[in-house]
């Protein structure tokens, strides 16, 4: 599915200005950060469905919430988004093929809060989405340091999925590229075959590997049924913070799993990446 982006992105922020176009280039908007943290965009994508993309997006939203980082999210699984079901207050469902929705995401990047935007890209649309970001000058802005841009590429257990790494990496200059191995489905990502593994995972110089460990299946399903963020499930709370009655065992499994996932985010200094250096010293709310 081909995405279309407008040639011009109207802006409403006083500091945003139009760059002077080169003859051979289309006009592009230039994004500038404010005196506060520069805007950060995290794209979570995968080449195919069912690899845990939205699960990872949910852990990111919980992580930023616990680190008191104001965050918003866009769920591109229009019209019914899974991410919105779990994080309704911060998530909007958008259609990435529609210009109006594209403007909704990128024209508002420079608002003061929230300055972190998580975009859960529909499966199979990551490469086209990145190509479009390149076309509107977004990737150049990231390269120029005006925006923090990171891609969480959720890998699947197939050679086709691993082939996508090289294709995605071509967009990643100036951006943070994370290869996410999600073990939630008992995959092995060819770790048993070192030659294959190295040819994909060690070929991209600046890519960082992240591991999402396996979560107990029943615990995962119970969270699904509860339709609450992982953090609220651990805290035994409903969607409106009312007391719930979830299983202590399943809450324990989710707590343990989430702590391991967050350890990975701590390891890559995610709060620093999104320019909340103070997040390191911020007290995490909720349980870790």
Where on the chain is the footprint of another protein (CB under 8 A)?
216-219, 247-253, 255-256
Specify the residue, 84 or 255, whose C-beta has the smaller distance to another protein.
Answer: 255
CA–CA separation, 228 vs 237, rounded Å? 8
Specify the residue, 7 or 249, whose C-beta has the smaller distance to another protein.
Answer: 249
CB of 161 to another protein, least distance (A): 29
CB of 185 to another protein, least distance (A): 17
- Tell me if 101 sits within 8 A of 55, measured CB to CB: no
Angle at 149 between CA 74 and CA 30, to 5 degrees: 95
CB of 96 to another protein, least distance (A): 38
Specify the residue, 250 or 261, whose C-beta has the smaller distance to another protein.
Answer: 250
CB of 255 to another protein, least distance (A): 6
Specify the residue, 196 or 236, whose C-beta has the smaller distance to another protein.
Answer: 236
Specify the residue, 127 or 216, whose C-beta has the smaller distance to another protein.
Answer: 216
Specify the residue, 69 or 234, whose C-beta has the smaller distance to another protein.
Answer: 234
CB of 36 to another protein, least distance (A): 37
**Structure-derived torsion over alpha carbons of residues 39, 117, 123, 155, reported in degrees to the nearest 10:** 70
CB of 224 to another protein, least distance (A): 15
CB of 218 to another protein, least distance (A): 4
Handedness of CA 86, 90, 91, 96 (dihedral sign): negative
Specify the residue, 119 or 234, whose C-beta has the smaller distance to another protein.
Answer: 234
């Amino acid at each position: 599915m081909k995405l279309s982006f407008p040639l011009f992105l109207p802006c409403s922020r006083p500091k945003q200005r139009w760059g002077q176009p080169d003859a051979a280039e289309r006009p592009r908007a230039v994004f500038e950060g404010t005196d506060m943290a520069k805007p950060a965009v995290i794209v979570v994508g995968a080449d195919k469905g069912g690899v845990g993309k939205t699960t990872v997006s949910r852990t990111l939203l919980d992580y930023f919430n616990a680190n008191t980082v104001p965050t918003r999210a866009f769920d591109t699984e229009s019209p019914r988004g899974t991410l919105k079901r779990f994080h309704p207050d911060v998530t909007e469902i958008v259609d990435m093929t529609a210009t109006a929705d594209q403007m909704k995401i990128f024209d508002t990047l420079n608002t003061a809060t929230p300055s972190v935007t998580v975009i859960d890209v529909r499966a199979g649309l990551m490469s086209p989405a990145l190509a479009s970001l390149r076309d509107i000058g977004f990737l150049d802005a990231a390269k120029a340091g005006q925006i923090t841009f990171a891609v969480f590429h959720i890998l699947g257990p197939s050679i086709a999925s691993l082939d996508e790494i090289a294709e995605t990496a071509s967009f990643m200059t100036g951006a943070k590229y994370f290869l996410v191995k999600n073990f939630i489905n008992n995959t092995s990502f060819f770790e048993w075959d070192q030659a294959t593994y190295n040819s994909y995972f060690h070929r991209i110089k600046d890519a960082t590997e992240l591991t999402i460990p396996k979560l107990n299946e029943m615990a995962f399903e119970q969270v699904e049924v509860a339709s609450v963020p992982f953090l609220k499930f651990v805290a035994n709370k409903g969607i409106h913070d009312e007391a719930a009655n979830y299983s202590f065992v399943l809450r324990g499994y989710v707590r343990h799993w989430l702590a391991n996932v967050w350890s990975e985010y701590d390891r890559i200094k995610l709060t620093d990446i999104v320019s909340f250096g103070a997040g390191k010293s911020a007290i995490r709310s909720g349980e870790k």
